[in-house]
């Protein structure tokens, strides 16, 4: 504008509208972060143990132990990434910064699949625990699946309206959950656990010590083949559902550079201790056949199987059976809702960075919630559960197929997280890293964390096992990814945006 210029009568002055950047309030500390993460990750103990036993049989503790090591590597990767990039999006955010928008979307879309299956599988396992009060909830696939769908619809309405659970309630439920699980482990080791019984249930009577051929080829109904063990390790990734939770809540955390890594490390320690204890007690209580049977056994409610054991005094059964039923249903309900919250945060992040249409992140004018994404993804979760009415059509069982589908998306997003941390070390070595992984190896001057390297290779290898061996997971998983990529392509082309470039954020979602 020239100096001395004055507007003339009739001239209109057009001002560029100011773009508002919405930020989430930073109010969460380590306890709230830990409770939210454990409510998501720790809830999987109520169903993951049964699915792993269904596949890994007597090698369930081994599969969980190996998966636990990979979980440690993954949690450390998320700790560095979240401290470095404290924003919603998790692995999608890491990948966008490390590579470009296309890779970030690919990772986020895979993560979205795991969130949707988390909603489905958490709701699907509430009914068997409540079966203590009414048997058809556990015994009838029609009743159980229908109730699961009602739960998802209920939470969909609650989330659209915008009724929020207090973090204090989550913390209280987490404390009660940890205390109950710990007491079950202590009582189990005092009254039930016997090393000879555990070995007999793992290998079968008379098969100890096992021969090398038995370890490789398996023992009928007791010890899996090498292929079965690898698949069991893959399914055991389900035990660590929700490791992304802390990263998704980084924008709501006070001093996330410090508190997010602390919450992740604390959660990792507690989860590993609980899973180790519960799995050993469970296999001391029942055989792999009883633990992994989804119809007549305890595959969908393994913790209920422990407290229903005749090896426990009747007084303890009377106390713990209803307690576990109510507590498991409560924690699984929180986990189902956490999946919805995770989807809304992820959809918002992808929408802000123009990796998906803004309509999916549109906020309701009255309720101020991303109602379109909530409704859409709840409907998809309901579609995933429809085969639960017809379990006989699944050769390996619907429950097992549901677990394999979760691992398709989760393992893929974990692999992107590891790859992104490695790429950021190479491409942006000077980026501030409040939490930096140790055990580094130097390649052409770049310090690459060994845990991320091993985590990347192992996660991809296990993911390949899933897609090779599981038809349902492969077909649905690749179908989901193709639909997402097609939608991404059409959206970016219509908006005249680069497919692979990093586009500035829109700043606001209307």
For 240, the token pair is: 């660590």
**SS3 letters across 114-159:** HHHHHHHHHHHCHHHHHCCCCCHHHHCHHHHHHHHHHHHHHHHHHH
Residues ≥6 apart with Cβ < 8 Å to 45: 181, 239, 271, 274, 275, 278, 303
Helix (H) or strand (E) holding 448: strand 446-449
pLDDT category, 30, cuts 50, 70, 90? low
**Whole-number pLDDT of residue 420:** 94
**Whole-number pLDDT of residue 460:** 92
More confident residue, 370 or 433: 433
What's the average model confidence in pLDDT over 358-371?
A: 72
Compute and round to an integer the Cα radius of gyration of the chain. 24
What's the average model confidence in pLDDT over 200-215?
A: 87
Report CA-CA distances (Å) from 143 to 137, 156, 378.
6, 20, 19
pLDDT category, 178, cuts 50, 70, 90? confident
Report CA-CA distances (Å) from 45 to 41, 238, 282, 320.
8, 9, 11, 16
Write down the CATH superfamily of domain 30-494.
Answer: Amino acid/polyamine transporter I (1.20.1740.10)
Q: Please report, in angstroms and rounded to a whole number, the separation of the first and last CA atoms in the chain.
A: 32
Mean pLDDT, all residues of the chain: 82
What's the average model confidence in pLDDT over 208-216?
A: 87
Task: Tell me which residue of 416, 419, 412 sits closest to 464, measured CA to CA.
Answer: 412
**Whole-number pLDDT of residue 416:** 93
Q: Is the peptide bond before 303 cis (omega within 30 degrees of 0)?
A: no
Least confident of 145-154, 252-261, 300-309: 252-261
DSSP 63-76: HHHHHHHHHHHHHH
What's the average model confidence in pLDDT over 194-221?
A: 87
Least confident of 8-22, 323-337, 342-356, 492-506: 8-22
More confident residue, 230 or 294: 230
Of all residues in the chain, what percent carry a pLDDT higher than 90?
A: 24
What's the average model confidence in pLDDT over 165-177?
A: 68
| Cα angle: 139, vertex 340, 435; to 5 degrees | 120
**Whole-number pLDDT of residue 22:** 43
pLDDT category, 164, cuts 50, 70, 90? low
Query: What does pTM read for this prediction?
Result: 0.82
From CA 153, how far away is CA 131, in angstroms rounded?
A: 20
| Cα angle: 307, vertex 313, 319; to 5 degrees | 55
Helix (H) or strand (E) holding 456: helix 450-469
Tokens 């690919």 belong to 106
**Whole-number pLDDT of residue 8:** 54
pLDDT category, 29, cuts 50, 70, 90? low
User: Does the structure show a pLDDT above 90 at 85?
Assistant: no
User: Does the structure show a pLDDT above 60 at 19?
Assistant: no
pLDDT category, 359, cuts 50, 70, 90? confident
pLDDT tens, position by position, 242-285: 677 666 665 555 666 667 777 777 877 888 888 889 989 999 99
More confident residue, 220 or 348: 220
């Amino acid at each position: 504008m020239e100096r001395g210029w004055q507007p003339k009568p009739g001239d209109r002055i057009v001002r560029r509208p100011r773009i508002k950047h919405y930020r989430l309030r930073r109010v969460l500390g380590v306890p709230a972060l830990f409770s939210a993460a454990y409510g998501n990750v720790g809830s999987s103990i109520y169903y993951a143990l049964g699915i792993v036993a269904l596949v890994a049989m007597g090698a369930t503790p081994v599969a969980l132990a190996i998966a636990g090591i990979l979980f440690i590597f993954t949690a450390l990767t998320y700790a560095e990434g979240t401290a470095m990039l404290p924003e919603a999006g998790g692995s999608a955010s890491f990948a966008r910064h490390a590579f470009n928008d296309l890779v970030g979307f690919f990772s986020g879309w895979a993560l979205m699949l795991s969130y949707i299956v988390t909603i489905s599988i958490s709701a699907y396992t509430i009914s068997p625990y409540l079966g203590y009060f009414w048997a058809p909830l556990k015994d009838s696939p029609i009743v159980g699946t229908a109730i699961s769908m009602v739960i998802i619809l209920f939470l969909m309405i609650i989330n659209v309206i915008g009724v929020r659970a207090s973090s204090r309630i989550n913390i209280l439920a987490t404390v009660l959950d940890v205390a109950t699980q710990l007491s079950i482990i202590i009582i189990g080791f005092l009254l039930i656990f016997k090393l000879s019984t555990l070995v007999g249930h793992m290998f079968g009577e008379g098969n100890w010590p096992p021969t090398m051929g038995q370890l490789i080829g398996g023992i009928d109904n007791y010890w899996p083949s090498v292929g079965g063990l690898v698949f069991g390790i893959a399914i055991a990734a389900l035990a660590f559902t929700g490791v992304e939770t802390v990263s998704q809540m980084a924008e709501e955390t006070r001093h996330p550079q410090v508190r997010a890594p602390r919450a992740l490390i604390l959660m990792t320690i507690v989860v590993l201790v609980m899973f180790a204890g519960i799995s050993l007690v469970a296999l001391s209580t029942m055989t792999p056949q009883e633990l992994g049977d989804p119809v007549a056994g305890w595959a969908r409610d393994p913790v209920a199987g422990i407290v229903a054991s005749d090896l426990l005094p009747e007084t303890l059964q009377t106390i713990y059976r209803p307690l576990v039923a109510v507590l498991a249903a409560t924690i699984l309900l929180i986990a189902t809702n956490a999946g919805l919250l995770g989807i809304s945060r992820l959809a918002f992040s992808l929408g802000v960075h123009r990796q998906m249409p803004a309509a999916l992140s549109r906020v309701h004018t009255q309720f101020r919630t991303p109602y379109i994404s909530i409704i859409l993804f709840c409907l998809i979760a309901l579609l995933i559960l429809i085969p639960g009415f017809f379990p006989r059509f699944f050769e390996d069982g619907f429950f097992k197929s549901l677990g394999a589908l979760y691992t398709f998306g989760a393992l893929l997003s974990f692999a992107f997280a590891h790859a992104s941390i490695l790429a950021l070390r190479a491409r942006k070595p000077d980026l501030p890293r409040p939490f930096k992984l140790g055990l580094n190896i130097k390649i052409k001057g770049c310090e690459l964390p060994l845990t991320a390297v091993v985590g990347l290779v192992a996660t991809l290898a296990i993911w390949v096992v899933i897609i090779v061996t599981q038809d349902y997971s492969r077909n649905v998983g690749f179908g989901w990814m193709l639909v997402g990529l097609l939608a991404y392509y059409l959206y970016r082309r219509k908006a005249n945006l680069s497919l692979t470039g990093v586009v500035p954020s829109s700043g606001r979602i209307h």
